[in-house]
Chains A and B, each alone.
Chain A
Amino acid sequence: MSQSLKNSPSLLGKILGGGFALLLLALLGLELLVHKHVTFSMEEWFGFYPTCGLLAALLLVLVANYLLRPLVMRDEDYYDR
C-alpha cells in the first residue's frame, strides 16, 4: 500500500489535500462548540482567526513579492563589484 502511495504522487497528493480540507472544515466547525475567552471584541466574530491567518499570510507574501522585491532585489554579486 505504502509502495503504491510513493509511486503515485498524485494519489498521495489527493489524499493529503483531502485530509487538509477536512481539517480546515473541522476547525471551523469546532469554533461553534468551543467558548472563547475573549479579551477583544473582534475575537468573537465567527472565523476571526481563520480569516486573520489567511489574510495575513496572503498579504505578507503579496507585499513581499510585488512591493519589496522589485525595490531591493539585485544580482548576487552586487556588493562585490
Chain B
Amino acid sequence: MIASVVFPPALIFVFGALLTVLLRGRAMKTAALLVPVVGFALLWTTADGSYGHIPFMGLDLVLTRIDPLARIFGYIFQLITLLGLVFSLHHNQRSHYGVALLYAAAAQGVTFAGDLFSLFLFWEVLTVAATFLIAAAATERARGAALRYLLVHIAGGLCLLTGILLHYAASGSIAFNAIDWATPGTIFIFLGFGLNCAWPLLHTWLVDAYPEAPIAGTIFLSAFTTKSAVYVLARGFAGTEALIWVGVAMATFPIFYALLEDNLRRVLSYSLISQVGYMVVGIGIGTQMAINGAVCHAYAHILYKSLLFMAMGAVMYRTGSCKASELGGLRRTMPLTACFCLVGSAAISAVPLFSGFVTKSMIMDAVAHEHLQIVWLVLLAASAGTFLYAGIKIPYFAFFGRDSGLRPAEAPRHMLLAMAGAAFMCVLLGVYPDFLAGLMPYSLPLHPYTAAHVLTKSQLLCFAGLAFVLLRWLRLWPAVGAAVYLDVDWFYRRVARLFYGLADRLLNGINAGAEELLLHRALPRLVRFFEAPGGYLQIAGLRLLARFGLIGRELPRTEGMVECRSRSGTYPVGIGVLLAVLYLAVISLLFFT
C-alpha cells in the first residue's frame, strides 16, 4: 500500500527539516532523529521502480527512481544522517538540525532522481546547505572557506547546468541514465560531477572547507557531497576509461599531503579524496564486479570515515585542538574514543575482520581481473600509504605517542553512542560480508576471506608498519609542526592577485573571467577600480592628451574633477545624451545597409 503512495524520500527529509525549525528543545531533537528512521522504513517497504512522474515545463520529471544501485546509497545516507544527528545532539540551535536535514534531503533527492532536471535541483540544494553548514562554525577561517566553497560549487553547478541544457537541446530527453559521450554537453556534465567528487585539480574546496566546518557538520559533509557524486558517476559514466586514471591519481597524491599535514582533520580530508579515488577506479572499470566494489566501498567508507571524523571531533570538542603537534597521549583519559578511533583506523587500512578489508579487496580483485597491472600496483602501494597516515599516524599522534599533558574528559555520551554505532557497522561488515552481499547492485559471489588474501594483506600492512618503526628510529619521519601546505588553490588565492595587479596597471577594466571566481582577497582591488571605471579611463585619456601638449596646467585640476564626478556618478547629462544620439546613429546606419 505504501508503494502506491511513494513520497520522494527527499521530501520526507525536507518536511523533517521544516518540522525541526518549528519545534524546540527535546521535541526538536526527537523529531530530527525520527526523520531518517521514517525514511528508512519507507524505503525498505518500497519496491523498485520509478515513481513521482511530473510533467513540468514540457519536461518529464521523475522524482523517485529506485533500483538496487540507488537503494544502497539511499540506505547508507539515511544511516549516516541518523548517526550524525546523534553525534550532534549537543547542539541546541534549530538551524543546525534544519540545515543538516536539508542537506540529507538533497542527497536523497540526488540519489533517487530519475531525470537530469530534478537532479540539478537537488544538486544546487546540496551546495547551499553545505555552505551554511560550513559557515556555522562562525570563525573567520570558516567564513572564508564557506564563501570559497560556495563559489566553486556554484561554478560547478553552472557547468553541470550547461551540460544538461546542451544535452537536452540535442537529444530532447531529460532522462538520467548512462550518458552517451556522443551527445554534446556530456563533457560539461562530466566535469560538473567531477567537481563534487573532488577530482585532482578540482579538489581543493574539500581540504579547504572540511577542516574548518563545525565538528558535527563535518560528519554530514564528508558523507553526502562526494558520495552522491560517486553515485551519479556510477549511474551516468560507468565504464569510462578515463576515470580509471583519474581515480589512480586521486588515490595517490593526497597521501603525500596526508603524511605531512599537521591538522588531523585535514589529514582525514585528504584521506577522503584518496578513498574516493578507489571508488572512481571501480566506476571507471565498469564491470559488475567493479561497480559492486565501488559501491560497497562507498558504503563502508562513509561509516569508517565518519567514525574517524567523530573521534577527531570528540577530541576537538574536549581539547579545542585537532593538531598533531598539540595532541598526544589522550588514551589515558579518553579510552573509549581511542578505541573507536582504532576501529576506524583498522577499517580504513583494510585490516582483516573490518569493513575496509572486504570492500577494498572487491575493487582490487576487479582491477586484477582486468589485468590492469600498473593500476593494481599503484593501488597496492597506496594501501600501504593509507595504513601509514590513517592506520598509524592519526591514532598514534592523537591518542598514543608522546604525552602532551592534556587530560580531557571522555567524550560525551551521545558522541560515544554515535561512534559505537559506526564502529559496530565497521566490524559487522568485516566479519559478516554477506550483509553487503545482500545490498550489492549486482549479485556476485563474495568471498574475501581466503587464507591467501588474509595473509597477503596482513603482510602488506605489517611491513608498512615496520617502515613506520624504521623511519621513526632513523628520525626520518616528517616532523610535526603547524604549517600550511600549498595545494592547487594557490593559483586562485595568490597568483591571481599578482596577475590582477598587473592588469589593473594596464587599465584593463574587465577581468571578469578568472576574477569572478575570486572573493575576499581580490575583490577589494576590483572594487577600487570599478568605483570609477569611466573616471580612470578618462584620466588616462587626459594624460595622453597632456603628453601631446594639448592640455597644460589644468591637468591636475581636471583630473581631480573627473575623478570626483566619476565616483559620485554625476556625469554631465550631456554625455548621456551624446551616447543616445550616437547609438541612434549606429542603429540607423545598420538599418540602412
A–B contact (CB under 8 angstroms): yes
B380 lies within 8 A of chain A by Cβ: yes
B residues within 8 A CB of A52? Answer: 377, 380-381, 384, 460, 463
Query: CA of A60 to CA of B471 in the docked complex: distance in angstroms?
Result: 11
A62 lies within 8 A of chain B by Cβ: yes
Select the stretch in B84-92, B104-112, B195-203, B479-487 that faces chain A: B479-487
Given the known interface contacts A39-B369, A50-B463, A79-B484, the answer about A56 and B452 at a Cβ–Cβ threshold of 8 Å is no
Given the known interface contacts A56-B381, A56-B385, A60-B384, the answer about A72 and B487 at a Cβ–Cβ threshold of 8 Å is yes
Query: CA of A77 to CA of B483 in the docked complex: distance in angstroms?
Result: 8
Query: CA of A17 to CA of B484 in the docked complex: distance in angstroms?
Result: 34
Mask: chain B, 456-474; 1 = CB below 8 Å from A; 0 = not: 1111111111111111000
Query: Do B460 and A49 have beta carbons less than 8 Å apart?
Result: yes
A residues within 8 A CB of B455? Answer: 27, 30-31, 34, 36
Chain A nearest CB: distance from B260 CB in Å? 5
Residue in B closest to A35 when the chains form the complex, CB atoms: B452
B residues within 8 A CB of A63? Answer: 256
Query: Do B462 and A64 have beta carbons less than 8 Å apart?
Result: no
Chain B nearest CB: distance from A77 CB in Å? 8
Query: CA of A56 to CA of B485 in the docked complex: distance in angstroms?
Result: 22
Mask: chain B, 247-280; 1 = CB below 8 Å from A; 0 = not: 0000000011101100000000000000000000
B549 lies within 8 A of chain A by Cβ: no
A15 lies within 8 A of chain B by Cβ: no
Query: Do A27 and B384 have beta carbons less than 8 Å apart?
Result: no
Query: CA of A59 to CA of B368 in the docked complex: distance in angstroms?
Result: 23
Mask: chain A, 38-80; 1 = CB below 8 Å from B; 0 = not: 0110010000011111101111111111001101111111110
Residue in A closest to B369 when the chains form the complex, CB atoms: A39
Query: CA of A37 to CA of B553 in the docked complex: distance in angstroms?
Result: 92
A residues within 8 A CB of B468? Answer: 57
Residue in A closest to B370 when the chains form the complex, CB atoms: A39
Query: Do B256 and A37 have beta carbons less than 8 Å apart?
Result: no
Summarize B's interface: helix, strand, loop or mixed: helix
Residue in A closest to B477 when the chains form the complex, CB atoms: A61
Query: CA of A63 to CA of B273 in the docked complex: distance in angstroms?
Result: 19
A5 lies within 8 A of chain B by Cβ: no
Given the known interface contacts A54-B467, A61-B478, the answer about A36 and B456 at a Cβ–Cβ threshold of 8 Å is yes
Q: Chain A interface: which size bin?
A: 35 or more
Given the known interface contacts A65-B478, A75-B483, the answer about A49 and B456 at a Cβ–Cβ threshold of 8 Å is yes
Chain A nearest CB: distance from B517 CB in Å? 16
B residues within 8 A CB of A78? Answer: 484, 486
B387 lies within 8 A of chain A by Cβ: yes
A residues within 8 A CB of B466? Answer: 20, 24, 53-54
A11 lies within 8 A of chain B by Cβ: no
B residues within 8 A CB of A79? Answer: 484, 493-494
Query: Do A24 and B463 have beta carbons less than 8 Å apart?
Result: yes
B residues within 8 A CB of A68? Answer: 256-257, 260, 485
B residues within 8 A CB of A60? Answer: 255-256, 259, 381, 384-385, 388
B residues within 8 A CB of A59? Answer: 381
Query: Do B388 and A49 have beta carbons less than 8 Å apart?
Result: no
B residues within 8 A CB of A61? Answer: 259, 388, 467, 471, 476-478
Query: Do B452 and A37 have beta carbons less than 8 Å apart?
Result: yes
B residues within 8 A CB of A40? Answer: 368, 371, 373, 376
Query: CA of A37 to CA of B368 in the docked complex: distance in angstroms?
Result: 11
Nearest 5 A-B pairs (CB), nearest first? A57-B467, A56-B381, A53-B463, A56-B384, A53-B460
Not counting A36-B452, A40-B368, A50-B463, a sample of 6 additional A-B residue pairs whose C-beta atoms are within 8 angstroms of each other reads: A27-B455, A30-B455, A52-B377, A53-B463, A53-B464, A61-B471
Residue pairs across A and B with Cβ atoms less than 8 A apart, 26 shown, are A20-B469, A24-B466, A28-B459, A34-B452, A35-B452, A39-B368, A43-B456, A50-B459, A50-B460, A52-B377, A52-B384, A53-B459, A54-B467, A57-B388, A60-B259, A60-B381, A61-B259, A64-B257, A64-B260, A65-B259, A68-B256, A68-B260, A69-B485, A72-B487, A79-B484, A79-B493
